[in-house]
């Protein structure tokens, strides 16, 4: 029985670890993202980088190209 003690201890601590990670406080907060069409972007939106840069200059956190009309939409937390 003495040679099973390390194995049983290992299993016990593994189960304790699993329970501790599952029972701890979990708070996942996902902010809603609002979109608005860019007022300054000109031409068809084919580059997410350019769209994002223009949107940041407009005070947003980023921007994405919307298909099929290839328009730049700026994003920010609601």
All structural domains of the chain: 2-77 (3.30.30.10)
| Residue 24 three-state SS | coil
- 65's CB contacts (< 8 A; 6+ apart) are 45, 46, 47, 48, 51, 71, 72, 73
The sheet with strand 62-66 has its strands ordered as 33-37, 71-77, 62-66
Q: What is the pLDDT of residue 31?
A: 81
Distance, in Å, from the CA atom of 72 to the CA atom of 65, rounded to the nearest integer, reads 5
pLDDT at 46: 95
Q: Is the pLDDT confidence value at 8 over 70?
A: no
For residue 35, the tally of other CB atoms under 10 A from its CB is 15
What digits encode the pLDDT tens for the residues 15-69? 555 445 555 555 667 789 999 999 999 999 999 999 999 999 999 999 999 998 9
């Amino acid at each position: 029985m003495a040679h099973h003690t390390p194995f049983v201890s290992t299993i016990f601590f593994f189960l304790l670890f699993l329970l501790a990670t599952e029972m701890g406080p979990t708070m996942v907060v996902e902010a809603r993202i609002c979109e608005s069409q860019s007022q300054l972007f000109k031409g068809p939106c084919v580059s997410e980088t350019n769209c994002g840069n223009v949107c940041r200059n407009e005070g947003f956190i980023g921007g994405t190209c919307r298909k099929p009309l290839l328009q730049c939409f700026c994003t920010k937390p609601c």
